Every structure is written in C-alpha cells, then in structure tokens.
Structure 1
Amino acid sequence: MKNLKINNRFTAELPADPNETNETRQVSNAVFSYVNPTKPSNPKLIHASKEVAELVGISKDEIKSEAFLNTFSGKEILPETRPYAMCYAGHQFGNWAGQLGDGRAINLTEVEHNNDFFTLQLKGAGKTPYSRTADGLAVLRSSVREYLCAEAMYHLGVPTTRSLSLMLSGDLVLRDILYNGNPAYEKGAIVCRVAPSFIRFGSFEMLTARNELKNLKDFTEYNIKHYFPEIKGEPKEQYLQFFKTVADKTREMILHWQRVGFVHGVMNTDNMSIHGVTIDYGPYGWLENYDPNWTPNTTDSQNRRYRFGNQPQIAQWNLYQLANALYPLINEAEPLEKILESFFTDFESDYKTMFLSKLGVFTLSKNDDKLITALETVLQLSETDMTIFFRNLSTIQKIDSVETAIEKIKNSFYIPEEISGDILDSWKKWFAVYLERLKTEELSDENRSEKMNAINPKYVLRNYMSQLAIDAADQGDYSLIDELYLLLQKPYDEQPEYEKWFAKRPDWARSKVGCSMLSCSS
C-alpha cells in the first residue's frame, strides 16, 4: 500500500499512557494507550469496499494483496505507525459508568489523502487495557452487520463511519448471544472502520471527571485545531463554538435517523461522535412496523430509553453531559444552556420540514402540524411498514380518490384484515386531508414523486436481511453479503432486479434472534 500517507497527529500531540503493557487497568493523565492487535491465526478477506479504499488512498489492486490482508486483519503493523486504543468514559443507559475506552477497537493510524484525514480502526482485533473482563474480539454475525450497515447508511445520506474491509480471523470466539448462560463458539471476524476520528463525548467526560483540566484544555484545542479549523476567536468563544458545532452536527445526524427509520439502540455518551457521525453499530435496527416505542436492544427492552421516538431527546441529554464536561473551560452555564435549548427548538423545526418532504409537501401551511400528528397516530393503529408506506406514497396523484390512495399503500399493512371499521375510517379521514393538501402544491405529480423518492428510500438494511447474509456467511457463502452491499449502494433507485428486497419483514423473522431484537453481544 505504497500510496498510504501516514499521519500520526493524535499520538504525536496528545498524552500517552506510559504503561505499555496490555493488562486491563485504570488509565490516568492520558487519552490513549499504545497496544498491538492480537495476531489472527488464519485471516481471510470476505469483502472490501473499493470506494472506501480509494477514499483513503488504497488502490483496487492493493485490496487483493497480502499486505492488505495482513494489515487489516491485525497480523502486521504498518511501517512508521503505532496502534493505540483510546481512553474515554461515558454514561450508559443514563448512569455514569466511569472509564470505558476502546475495549474491542484498535486504531491503526491516521492517513491523509486528497487533503482529508481519516482514522483507520480495527474492531474485534483483540484485547486492550480497556477490555475489562472481555477479550476484545468480535464475531462474524456482528461484524457482518456493522460492515454492511455503515455503508448502507452512507448511501442513504446519513452521516456515518465507513467500512473498508471485513475479514475472518480464523479463530473461534466464545459468546453468549442472549446472555442467558448458553455460550457457544462462533467464527471470529475483524472490521476496519474509517472516520475523521473516533473521538466521543465520553473522551471529554473522562478528563473532567478526573479533574485533568490541563489535558481537557489541550484535548479540546487539539480537536478545534484539526477537525474544526474554521472556529476562531478567544479561547472561551472557541470552546462555545466547538460545542455549538457538535450540537448542530448531532442534530443533523438524528434528523436523518428519524427520516429513514433507523434506531441506534445504544445511545450512550461513549457512542456519540464529536463529528456527528453514526458510530458503533451494535443492536441497531430499522423501524419496520411504525412504532415510536420500539427499541432493537434486548438490554433496553424494559425501560426503552433508546426507543425510536426518544432519540432526539437522548441526543439532547447526551449533549448536556458534553456541556458539563466542557464547563470547566467556560465557567458560564448560560451560553451552554442556550445552545442546548436551541438544539430542540431547531430540531422540531427541521423535523417538521423533513416530515413534510417525506409526504411530498414542500410549502408550509398553518395546518401542517395537524397533518403530521394525525399521520403519526393513524400509522400506529395497525402494524404499518414505514419504508414501504412512505415509498408508495409517491405513487399517489392529486386526482386520486381516497379509496384509490389507500389501495396504493395497502401492501404496507402487516395485517390487512385489520384495516376496517374505525381504523379504515381514520385512514380515510387522513387521506381526504392529505389529497386536498397535495392540490395546493405547485409541483406536478411526476416532479413531486421524483423528489419524494430521493428522500424516502426503497431499500434499507432490515435485520432479517442481515441475518440471512450472516447465516449464509457462517456456511462459507458470502454471495448474499455482496448482493446486499450492491443493493444498498443505490437505496433510492428502483433496481427491479432486487425487487424481492422491497418487502415487509417475513413472519418467520418476527421473533427470530437477530431479526427482531438483539443484544450487545459481539
């Protein structure tokens, strides 16, 4: 990989843990620890993204090389680099968890290409000082899900980390998939993730919690200097601008999550990126039945803290924790509080515009709030597939009758026989208002449909689709990974050859492990 331009800004400019052993421990006065990946016994490349390779400066031919295999499986270390794991803390499910850190992620290096900087990180490459009682490894099922989902999100237009490669380690890993006392050996795997950096809200929380205020100041200024160079002014003003920028980027990310029906499942502060990109794809899922109370995470099944409808509120809560972490640098609560307050007012305004655009409504009217609220209510009267409903909505024309409109979206209902009586009346009332609203739009049906189809995806990575690819991959068949990868590169296109994937979740997937809810087990 001769064109990889190595840049080690993070390790060159920030304090390192002086202890270079690999024993789990509490790390103080440092933001990272040097660590080497565990060497896999027999690595094998399953899939690699040529697009992401090109993004970071790796040629298509180099993907096929032994150097690529060895580097991104953790078997060999790139010249002039020292891999490291980051130290950070976090709030998990609303509770302070103290030191967490990269327990199963190892940053290989930063690279520079076309004036952009990228961090290359291996997930599942072995133990670090932050692994606690875990082994730092990952299994095939979680790695397939992460690899595919990051790329699916990117092509949906959602800010996200990227996936460079997916490899088998050749080793078996012991996991208890449901945490019910039935562990079993699974195939080990490693994903190479790519992002501007993997710095989290919890990185700042760690420094403030330990009263390492000089390190907090230096670390914040490092982030501004390298990732937000447009921020200028006096130090205090820069810190506030940094927080405002992170809040704005976070708001934009959550808005896209709600637009496509994505549920992260583990919105802990250690899983929130300062870049406003989606990181740490664990027990995520796409909203199939439109249910704002749904969470894909078995650990969250009781309190549903990270349910779909609560993601904006949790984002704001997490930003409160970041504000608390930055407070010692600013020593004024009011300007931070103003940013936090504006987060939600701005989100509500953006959400309204976004939701209306999903409906094909591009001019504002005084009754639009009622139109949105009424739809959110009627969507929950009977199980209705979010993706199929909004995609089919674009086929409706201004001259359609209410009955014709309902006919055009009826295949989004999971239990069609329920659409009768009061439920059918509710749908008729909503469509009567909606059709009248469409008549006030100047766009032709054709132009409106085109704009709606650029906002409402036809294809998303439903959990059952991932599970089918995982089951096949476990048998050594990687063709479905490749098929889904190609499908999800064009999620807004019709792609008639893949029409079979434009379908509701099958009945067999309703309660199947890996298809309905998932644990954090990897």
Structure 2
Amino acid sequence: MKHLQLHNRFTSELPADSSQTNEIRQVSNALFSYVNPVKPSAPKLLHASKEVAEMVGIHADEIQSEAFLNVFSGKEILEETRPFAMCYAGHQFGNWAGQLGDGRAINLTEVQHNDQFFTLQLKGAGKTPYSRTADGLAVLRSSIREYLCAEAMHHLGVPTTRSLSLILSGDPVLRDILYNGNPAYEKGAVVCRVAPSFIRFGSFEMLAARNELKNLKQFVEYNIKYYFPEITGEAKEQYLKFFKTVADKTREMILHWQRVGFVHGVMNTDNMSIHGITIDYGPYGWLENYDPNWTPNTTDSQNRRYRFGNQPQVAQWNLFQLANSLYPLINEAEPLEKILESFMTDFNSDYTKMILAKLGLSTLAENDEEFIAYLESNLQLSETDMTIFYRNLNKIKKTDSAKKALQAIEDAFYKPEEIKDTVKDNWLLWFTDYLDRLNQENTSDGERIRLQNSVNPKYVLRNYMAQLAIDAADKEDYSLISELYELLKNPYDEQPEYEKWFTKRPDWARSKVGCSMLSCSS
C-alpha cells in the first residue's frame, strides 16, 4: 500500500458536514460527512482482482498482505486519509425520496495512477449518517453478486465500476431476504469498489431541492474541472455542455445494457452516475428468455418500471430530473429540452445499428426498424434464450436455407416442441429475409462471424450461476467464485473448457430465490 498516490480532492474542495457524529440525521449545506468504517472481527480475503489492483497502483505482491486485508475490510485507515460518506438525494421508483446518501458505502480515498484518478469505496462497511433505518452492512450473497458482476460487465465492454476485493467480515448480519417477516443471520462481507468517482444525479438533485445554489454551482464546476476538463466556454455554456456530455455517456451505457441483455433493476436517480458507468449492483439480472417486460427486482414486480425494455425511457426520465436540477444555473429550458429530445432520437438510431451489428449486418436499409421489430416479436413467440440465440447466429452461412438457419439456433429454445405451425412459419419467413440481407453484404462469412462474436457474448453472469457460487461460498467453498471470475474475463471467447456454462437456465432455477427475481436486501 506504500505505493498508493493519495488525493483528497473531494473532501478538500467541497463543503463538509459540520457535525462529526455518526448519527442518522438530515445533513444540510454539505456534500459529505466524515465517517469511519466499522472494524470487522475476523476479516478474510476471498478474492481480489490483480488487474484492478495494478490499475490503481497496488503491487500484486501486496494483495495477500495483512495491510491489504486490514485496509479493504475497514479494519485500518490509510494514513493521511479521512473516509467519508456522500450526501445526495434522489427519485426512487419515480417518487421523490429526499435525502438518501451513502447508506452502506464509505469512500476511503482517491488515488492517482498512470495519470488517472480513482475513488476507492467500501460497500458494507457500516453505518453512516445516511443509513436511515439500516445498519450499513452487507451480506456475502449480495457482495459476491456485486464483486463478480462489475468485473463481468467490464470485460463485456460495458461502462462500469470495478471490483478490487471481496472480504468476509467475520460478523453475522441480520437480513429478511424476501421481506416476508422471516429475518435470519447471514455472513457479512465487504466489497471494495473502484470508479473515477461515485457522484450521482442525486447529488445535484439534493442541492437544487434545498436551494443551495452556491454549493450547486461550486459542485458543477468541480465536476467539469476534474472529470470533463475538455469543456470550455462561458459558465452557462459549460453547464449545458456538462449536461450534454452526461446524457451522451448515459445513452452509450444503456445501449450496452440492451446489447448484452443486462437489466439493472433499480434505476433510481441516486443510482445513476455522471460518468455513464453502471453503479450499484443490487437486484440485477440478464435476460434468459427474451422478454422486454422482465425485471429482476421483486419490489418492482407490479409496475415493472425498471423492466428491460423500459431502460432507455427511464434513463431519459432520470436525465430530465438532472436537467431540472441544473436549470437554476442556466435559467433556460429550451437548450436542456433539446438535449433531452435528442437523447431518444440518437438512442433509437444507435440501437438499430447495434442490433444490425449483432446480426452481422453493416449495411443500413429502409426497412431496418420493421426487420428488427419482426425479429424481437419472434423471440417472444416461444421462450428463446437471448444470449444463445445471438451467439449461435455465427453457425449460419450465406448459402444456408431458412430451415437450416433455424436449426442453427434451435438450442436457444426453452420449449422446442412449440416451434411448429405459425411460430415456425414466422421464424422461417424472418430467416428468409435475414439470409437475403446477409447475401447483400460484401463481407465473407468468416469476417461477419468475427464481427458477431465481438458483440454477442458467449458467456454472461446468469443469476443461477451467481447463486451456485453463493451456495458454495455459504459452505466455505470459494472455488466457484474464482472459476466464474476467470470465465467472465473472456466472455466473447469460445473457452471450450467452460462450455458447461454456455447453456440455458436450468429448470430448477426458474423460480428459485436468487435465480429469477431478487429483492434489494443486502
């Protein structure tokens, strides 16, 4: 740890909570509160990412050291640092929730390495002034899911936070996993997350809602100075460029989510990053069968606000809330509205190109939207695994018949006996059009397959896979965590030694807790 280049830009330049007590309370005129992690009784390192360690300036031989274990479990505090929890507000499930803040996250410090800055944050390290009725701790099951998913997303090419370490605390944590009045003790754990910063839309919402306009102006300018230094011009022009940049980065992130079939599950404004990176892995999931109405969140099971197919619209809605927060600095609605309107226009255009790339098509056509809509309708005629369907398109050759093309993707069907009559006819008709499109392309089958394999992952972190790792870890077997971690580092490669993971969700996982829908319990 001696090599870390420490920085404290956030705490040295932005207003701090005047109170030093760690009591649940409303915090005003401040962007953070100083707070120390709770000391774990018997920390144990379960896994650490050498790649992330090197990224932030930690030598590989330090990972197994006592100092690494103590710092990233919260047992010891790095010299010349003061851990803190951020104060922010937000909209949760479309409703204003007021002050929220880091309820179970504590930022250790900011570090610089290779001309990049990173914030190191512990999740599950204890209570903060923003914990409300909770204890600020996290359990092993949710920590495994967060640790593995952030790294899986990175290697999929999806903008995301990173995971440095997964550590058992040695302390039991009481949780009601299904919110049904049956709490039980589980193993506690702490994950160290890494990001350029953990600044959220909700940080700006809080300052605007409280009419702390001086702090709002200072905070926006702080973000531009350190995270978007390319932004120049008059003050108002800078604020608009800042919003446009955040909107663009958010659009790119959502496009990647849709590409790989990822569903965040809790797209509240306090879970949206200004960097356009995926943060806060709670009840997330990957589509098994292609279902735009699926959400992994039990809390959202009735209204399905955060369903897969609605993620672009929710992102735009969340950006609208950010625009409202920036309006007091700009005092003009029209330029903000134009950016919001262009968000969906640009997204739809990018989405068409993205799906065409998944299909191995590079040439645009007038009927692209109809062509894609027909495909997505067919994918819902009978349960069809999204990941396997797109990946197995690489088995099709230009000279194939529609019948042979359909056979190439038949492993994607959960109920192959349903692929008959009208369902089969619809598929054969679409594949006829698809093969016509392939034959209009100038690329060879080999070139097209290389393109498809670069955007259609073979392996994703399906919920049942994470649950198997959790079940094994509960029995003190951590080998599956390591296996999945290695597998997901190369999700686009064939990896024949891991072929068993290229399969549909097993029947036993269809309704098992942790494999279908999940709660926010952590």
Into which bin does the TM-score normalised by the smaller protein fall? over 0.9
How many Å apart are 1:171 and its aligned residue? Answer: 0.1
Who is 2:138 aligned against?
Answer: 138
Cα distance per residue 1:237-257 (max 9 Å; x no partner): 000000000000000000000
The alignment covers a number of residue pairs equal to 522
Pairwise CA RMSD? 0.4
How many Å apart are 1:370 and its aligned residue? Answer: 1.6
Cα distance per residue 1:30-74 (max 9 Å; x no partner): 000000000000000000000000000001100010000000000
Equivalent residues in 2 for 1:172-187 (5 A)? 172-187=172-187
CA distance in 2, matches of 1:25, 1:106: 16
Matched, 1:113 2:144: no
Which amino acid is the alignment partner of residue 322 of structure 2? L
Gaps in structure 2 of 5+ consecutive residues: none
Relative to the length of structure 2, the TM-score reads 1.00
How many Å apart are 1:403 and its aligned residue? Answer: 1.0
Who is 2:266 aligned against?
Answer: 266
Who is 2:200 aligned against?
Answer: 200
How many Å apart are 1:78 and its aligned residue? Answer: 0.3
Who is 1:23 aligned against?
Answer: 23
How many Å apart are 1:368 and its aligned residue? Answer: 1.6
Who is 1:475 aligned against?
Answer: 475
Which amino acid is the alignment partner of residue 263 of structure 1? V
How many Å apart are 1:23 and its aligned residue? Answer: 0.3
Q: Percent identity?
A: 80
How many Å apart are 1:366 and its aligned residue? Answer: 1.3
How many Å apart are 1:394 and its aligned residue? Answer: 1.4
Who is 2:510 aligned against?
Answer: 510
Who is 2:362 aligned against?
Answer: 362
Who is 1:336 aligned against?
Answer: 336
Which amino acid is the alignment partner of residue 90 of structure 2? G
Who is 1:283 aligned against?
Answer: 283
Cα distance per residue 1:93-138 (max 9 Å; x no partner): 0000000000000000000001100000000000000001100000
CA distance in 1, matches of 2:349, 2:132: 43
What secondary structure is seen at the aligned counterpart in 2 of 1:454? helix
Which amino acid is the alignment partner of residue 426 of structure 1? N
Larger mean Cα displacement after TM superposition, 361-370 or 408-417: 361-370
Equivalent residues in 2 for 1:107-256 (5 A)? 107-256=107-256
Which amino acid is the alignment partner of residue 275 of structure 1? H
CA distance in 2, matches of 1:368, 1:93: 33
How many Å apart are 1:369 and its aligned residue? Answer: 1.6
Who is 2:493 aligned against?
Answer: 493
Who is 1:11 aligned against?
Answer: 11
Gaps in structure 1 of 5+ consecutive residues: none
Who is 1:345 aligned against?
Answer: 345
What secondary structure is seen at the aligned counterpart in 1 of 2:455? coil
How many Å apart are 1:479 and its aligned residue? Answer: 0.4
Which amino acid is the alignment partner of residue 272 of structure 1? M
CA distance in 2, matches of 1:372, 1:130: 45
Cα distance per residue 1:253-276 (max 9 Å; x no partner): 000000000000000000000000
How many Å apart are 1:395 and its aligned residue? Answer: 1.2
CA distance in 1, matches of 2:57, 2:104: 25
CA distance in 2, matches of 1:321, 1:291: 28
Give structure 1 regions of 4+ aligned residues with deviation exceeding 2 angstroms: none
Who is 1:104 aligned against?
Answer: 104
Relative to the length of structure 1, the TM-score reads 1.00
What secondary structure is seen at the aligned counterpart in 2 of 1:241? helix
Which amino acid is the alignment partner of residue 162 of structure 2? R
Which amino acid is the alignment partner of residue 137 of structure 1? L
Which amino acid is the alignment partner of residue 199 of structure 1? I
Which amino acid is the alignment partner of residue 204 of structure 1? F
CA distance in 2, matches of 1:199, 1:290: 33
CA distance in 2, matches of 1:450, 1:224: 39
Who is 2:449 aligned against?
Answer: 449
Cα distance per residue 1:289-310 (max 9 Å; x no partner): 0000000000000000000000
Which amino acid is the alignment partner of residue 373 of structure 1? A
